[in-house]
Structures are given as C-alpha cells and as structure tokens.
Amino acid sequence: MRIATWNVNSITARLPRLLAWLESSGTDVLCVQETKCTAEQFPADELRELGYEAAVNATGRWNGVALLSRVGLEDVVTGLPGGPDYEGVQEPRAIAATCGGVRVWSVYVPNGREVGHDHYSYKLLWLEALRNAVAADAAAERPFAVLGDYNIAPTDEDVFDPAVFEGATHVTPAERAALAALRDTGLSDVVPRPLKYDRPYTYWDYRQLCFPKNRGMRIDLVYGNAPFAGAVKDSYVDREERKGKGASDHAPVVVDLDV
C-alpha cells in the first residue's frame, strides 16, 4: 500500500497536477491539507473517476483537510475530538478514516503565526488535543499513522538555517515539546533522515527563490505506531512535484507499506 501526505495549497488551483500525480504515483491513500474550499466545492466527481473515494472536512478560506482512498474509507471521524476553537470556530484541521485496514489521520496543525500571538497558544492547545485523540490508536495493534502538515520542524536539521528562524514559530521549544509528547503515545517518525537528499525538506516558500536555493523546512511528517513503522518498506519526498508552474509550496511525502 502506498500512503502519502500533501499540503496542496488550494485543491482547486492544484487539481490538474493532483489528478496527474495520483495517476502517475500509484498512491492508494492520500492525506490532503489546505484544501481552501468548501465541502460543496470539493472535486469529488473528478477524483471518483480515478477510483478514489473522498472524506472531506472543509469550510472554505484557508484551512480544510481530506482523505482520498482507493482501498476503502471506513469509520470516518470529521474534526478533532476535544479540539479547541479559535475565535469561536472549530477549524477544519483533522479527519480520520480506516483505509485498507490502516487507520490514518490527515492533520493540518495551526501555523501559530508568531510567538505570543493567540494563534500560537491555540496551536499548543490543538496539539495537546491531538495527542489525547490519537493515544488509543497509537497504542493499538492495528497499523496507525498521523500524516500531514505539522507546521513544526522537529530539529534544527529540519530547517535550512536555524539562525534564520531564531525566535520564530515552527522551531520553538514548546512546539517541539508538543511534538515529542505526541510521539510519546507510541508514534515514531517513519521518514528518517537521510533519504535521497541530505536535507529532505518538504516546504519551500514561493518567495526569494527558496526552492532553487533549497532554503526549505521539513514540516510535513508521517508519525506511525509500531505496526505501521514495522510495515514501512520505503519512504521519500517527491521533490519533482514542487517544480514547475502551478506547484504547491509543499511536496508530497510518500510511504510504502507491506500490509
């Protein structure tokens, strides 16, 4: 089974590339983030023509997540149980389902904006709720993983220059501690360094030629429990999909399982 995660930065803008990538990559399950559409605008018909069912949690604007599967889509949970509101709204940042016997979550962790901002506090509360929500599945014997855009670089090696990010979100001790607490439920990073590149980043800003200069961050992660990690046969960041006109600012992260 091939499982991937990809922040598409607008599924409407990225639809031709998404459909082409699904066909060429042979992906069975895709966790999507930042759909930037309503559930009614989601391109379910186009995806169904390729053989994919879709579970969607989206209300428009800047957030939205989805799960695409051609190996089944069962026991869907929409939203983060016990998750905090932001400005009185439960943002669409999580969705879970069982696909071909593997339980997966697609998550889009809040950005945090800047240290001290209300959104930063919200980010930490959201991560705590995520930890509580997945703890039982993480400890289970069924393969389970939380995939998505975590908006956190786990270590200094996961950013192109730690000095550039000093004092900013994505790298603070509190965010990394929240990530470590999530792993402590029984999850591990199943896309280890090094891969096919010394610095396998997953996100590069559109500005200042960040992608050609490889000034990136590794913030799109796949955290799996022991049965999931034990089934991993290969993993990689598809940098090619970040190239060219109309690309997302994130690249897909792909994991192959023997299940």
Residue 143 contacts residue 227 (beta carbons within 8 Å): yes
pLDDT tens-digit readout, 57-79: 999 888 999 999 999 999 999 99
For the chain, the residue count is 259
Residue 149 annotated to the active site: yes
**CATH code for position 205:** 3.60.10.10
Among residues 149, 170, 203, 223, the one annotated as catalytic is: 149
Q: How far apart are CA 34 and CA 150, in angstroms?
A: 12
Among residues 52, 86, 108, 203, the one annotated as catalytic is: 108
Residue 45 annotated to the active site: no
Helix (H) or strand (E) holding 54: strand 53-57
Residue 85 annotated to the active site: no
* Nearest C-alpha neighbor of 41 from the set 11, 63, 70, 21: 11
pTM score above 0.85? yes
Query: Can you list the residues of the chain whose pLDDT is less than 70?
Result: 193-199
What pLDDT shows up at residue 61?
82
Task: Report how many domains make up the chain.
Answer: 1
Domain that holds residue 90: 2-257
